[in-house]
Structure 1
């Protein structure tokens, strides 16, 4: 294997407090740092985000209460019974490219769409009411966290716009009632666990992800095809950093300028909780390379996609209950559906290999 010059060995750390400044130059400076990390790595830590510690403690407490319930009670909220693909995801439900079930359980929460919203009335996939467990404070703790991190996502989307040479607010009209999912994920304690993957290598479907985890395990694939650890991190004041990574849709918008990097979760002995919020545009938003990339002839391989269509087709290929419905003919993949693992550094590396062999 030809070694790639300058392959990353750790994730950049960016203090984003400057995004709150009234001075555009200060906001632009943070955006430029985000843009550089998005081009070179596709992953970075953020500090100075302002998410209150009590909100983080609250969502952790809610997750621990729910996952401690007997399996029979958790299955009352099984995602396969949901009308809008939300709820409890038992171990083995998700199957990524390796073909092996993932060793985790989860509870999926979506954007709080009102019942009379046109997307709900028309039964748009992935959009609809959440079904909440009957646990004290669970709904309020999870929703408070969701709303705070979702608002942070809007701030980051403005920064991504600046990093791409666009005005702040450029993407705002695309995010009104999105299929943005928060996952409460639990990796059970296993003292006999070997050092092996728990979630198969993949890229995220959406625009970008905001992740908080309490234990190591996340690994990111660099240009040398080396897995780089991305453990939890704190700043000098003890504030927990979020991990941000580029998803498929932002890679399409930027015609590959920002990279949806492949990543996985290693199986570790420690009990682990993680909380990714997948920030998406509205379901029917057509995602295509931005005009200045088209003019530069940098967008040939990025065909227009509906973000919801892409997310739904990926779910149909990943979740066991949906795969079974596809196999029975009850649900169908879109003609424009992509296979999983079609984005990210894996594609970039293929280009680099070709170049290195010339």
Structure 2
């Protein structure tokens, strides 16, 4: 790993301080990094390296299983869009089909929900220890996310607890992703260019490969830094901040070594309507229903949902095209 950051590095340790001044100081740093870049690194006492290591080991063991075994928990069999995602399942817009496999986990929502997409019990594989390790990581990183939501509230001039009730049972998704190394894959990307749909993402990865678009419209590499996670702004935080923070397009290029990454996408509650929250500004964005946006964007990328749309089984409501947020820059290859 390299120690030459191309993005800001924010120490979030003081978000756990009893001093409001300490928490405000972190919020100012977070605000500046998100306004200037939309991508940053976070570090701090909150990050539990042992949990990260356990999840890496578990993911390696899981993805090494035969495809037939993994397909027993295929995401298309789930109630809440959870489970195994095989290679060739996802495609962003007109880009190449992604060269990756994944296992997706949502909030394990056990209350009655009718037929609300994305809410329900997770589909888990029959692998000893898998659910325990994944849920431990999910709880840990959503806890960090809760502290960051409070920091965003301070940064945007709101009450520190503004987002607490709005994220109490959010369909925040964790993706365990395996990017195989394949010399025969030409320039097929690990994941095509896109913005994330939610408020913000916290990412831990084992190898390089992530690229982002800078303000000049150029693709730049994001190296890994020991002891950090990568954080980025998504569509919903762009709206909430009324454009102060802009969702940044990113991709994973063809990897030069096997890569595992763990992305937790932090959202608001399914039924919450996302609107700009900045005071004394004319809203620049129309309201957006959180769960509807998540599902609509997902349905435009996953093959099993595209098949349901094509058959007429699934009809999307008020879906905006993929890549509707973020910089409108022309990017270079």
SS of the residue corresponding to residue 61 of structure 2 reads helix
**1:266 pairs with one of 253, 269, 281:** 253
SS of the residue corresponding to residue 259 of structure 1 reads coil
Give how far 1:99 is off: 3.8
Gaps of 5+ in 1: 1-8, 235-239, 351-358
* Match in the other structure for 1:124: 116
* Match in the other structure for 1:52: 48
Are the aligned partners of 1:222 and 1:345 in contact in 2 as well (CA < 8 Å)?
no
Tell me, in whole angstroms, the C-alpha distance in 2 between the residues paired with 1:194 and 1:270.
14
* Match in the other structure for 2:281: 296
Tell me, in whole angstroms, the C-alpha distance in 2 between the residues paired with 1:327 and 1:45.
40
* Match in the other structure for 1:309: 292
Give how far 1:344 is off: 0.6
Tell me, in whole angstroms, the C-alpha distance in 2 between the residues paired with 1:198 and 1:79.
19
Give how far 1:270 is off: 0.4
SS of the residue corresponding to residue 204 of structure 1 reads coil
SS of the residue corresponding to residue 253 of structure 2 reads strand
Tell me, in whole angstroms, the C-alpha distance in 2 between the residues paired with 1:186 and 1:168.
37
SS of the residue corresponding to residue 57 of structure 1 reads helix
Are the aligned partners of 1:11 and 1:44 in contact in 2 as well (CA < 8 Å)?
yes
* Match in the other structure for 1:176: 168
Are the aligned partners of 2:113 and 2:119 in contact in 1 as well (CA < 8 Å)?
no
The runs of at least 4 aligned residues of structure 1 exceeding 6 Å deviation read none
Tell me, in whole angstroms, the C-alpha distance in 1 between the residues paired with 2:11 and 2:90.
34
Tell me, in whole angstroms, the C-alpha distance in 1 between the residues paired with 2:232 and 2:66.
34
**1:341 pairs with one of 316, 323, 328:** 323
* Match in the other structure for 1:105: 101
Tell me, in whole angstroms, the C-alpha distance in 1 between the residues paired with 2:215 and 2:113.
45
Tell me, in whole angstroms, the C-alpha distance in 2 between the residues paired with 1:195 and 1:28.
44
Give how far 1:194 is off: 4.6
Tell me, in whole angstroms, the C-alpha distance in 2 between the residues paired with 1:189 and 1:290.
43
SS of the residue corresponding to residue 121 of structure 1 reads coil
* Match in the other structure for 1:326: 309
Give how far 1:163 is off: 0.8
* Match in the other structure for 1:141: 133
Tell me, in whole angstroms, the C-alpha distance in 1 between the residues paired with 2:219 and 2:181.
23
**2:7 pairs with one of 3, 6, 11:** 11
Are the aligned partners of 2:242 and 2:278 in contact in 1 as well (CA < 8 Å)?
no
Tell me, in whole angstroms, the C-alpha distance in 1 between the residues paired with 2:96 and 2:200.
25
* Match in the other structure for 1:252: 239
* Match in the other structure for 2:271: 284
Deviations 1:295-326 (A, max 9, x none): 322x23x1001010000000111101101110
Are the aligned partners of 1:191 and 1:270 in contact in 2 as well (CA < 8 Å)?
no
Tell me, in whole angstroms, the C-alpha distance in 1 between the residues paired with 2:178 and 2:103.
9
Give how far 1:196 is off: 5.5
Deviations 1:69-127 (A, max 9, x none): 0010010011011111110000110110234210000000111222xx2xx43231101
With normalisation by structure 1, the TM-score equals: 0.88
Aligned length: 326
Over the aligned positions, Cα root-mean-square deviation in angstroms equals: 1.4
Are the aligned partners of 1:194 and 1:268 in contact in 2 as well (CA < 8 Å)?
no
* Match in the other structure for 2:189: 197
Give how far 1:179 is off: 1.1
Gaps of 5+ in 2: none
Deviations 1:28-49 (A, max 9, x none): 1111000001111101000105
* Match in the other structure for 1:188: 180
Are the aligned partners of 2:210 and 2:223 in contact in 1 as well (CA < 8 Å)?
yes
Tell me, in whole angstroms, the C-alpha distance in 2 between the residues paired with 1:128 and 1:84.
5
With normalisation by structure 2, the TM-score equals: 0.95
